Amino acid sequence: MMMDSTDRRILHHLQRESDVSLDVLADEIHLSRNATWRRIKQMEKAGIITARVALLDADKLGLKLTVYILIRTDRHTADWADRFAQATRGLDEIQGVYRMTGDLDYLVRAQVADVEAYDRLYQRLIAQVDISDVSASFVMERIKETTALPVL
């Protein structure tokens, strides 16, 4: 799908307030309500808009600790990778898993209540899959955190 500047303005607004009314959004981008709706539906069909979600405040939910888990493995088989993917997908605290280049094999981002909760997560993970080296870094301060992509 070819996107124009109007599509990008729609995405810009929806990333910041996905529950904005269609009428308000149409007014903001200077397009009719129906044309705005059609463009949104086209972007959903094309997979550009993948979901509309509510973002929650982790601190207010008692999940005050963000942890980045650095994982190295000495096994690089398809079977191990499948078991690792299945294990991490099944742990709700884990929000992101990334296979990396360089010395690090995987980077995992998780949100937990405290260090003890991280240790419980760690124990559950290593019970499911063999990992040769694990280290963790805890976020001390969030300087910038966004889900919005640069679309303008």
The predicted-structure confidence for 37-91, as pLDDT tens digits, reads as follows 999 999 999 999 999 999 999 999 999 999 999 999 998 999 999 999 999 999 9
34-48 pLDDT, tens digit per residue, is 999 999 999 999 999
Please give the Cα distance from 85 to 78 (Å, whole number): 10
Q: Are 38 and 22 in contact (CB under 8 A)?
A: no
Phi, psi of 142 (to 5 degrees): -90, 115
pLDDT of residue 80: 96
> 59-138: which CATH topology?
Alpha-Beta Plaits (3.30.70)
Strand partners, 91: none
**15-29: per-residue pLDDT in tens?**
999 999 999 999 999
Alpha-helix residue ranges (DSSP H) falling in the chain: 5-16, 22-29, 33-45, 78-89, 115-128
CA 14 vs CA 11, 66, 88: distances in Å: 5, 26, 29
Domain coordinates in residue numbering, the chain: 5-45, 59-138
Q: For the domain bounded by 5-45, which CATH number is listed?
A: 1.10.10.10
Tell me which long-range contacts 137-144 makes (C-beta under 8 A, separation of at least 24).
137/67, 137/68, 137/70, 138/65, 138/66, 138/67, 138/68, 139/65, 139/66, 139/67, 139/68, 142/66
Q: Residue 66: beta bridge partners?
A: 111
**What's the pLDDT score for residue 95?**
98
Read off the pTM.
Answer: 0.88
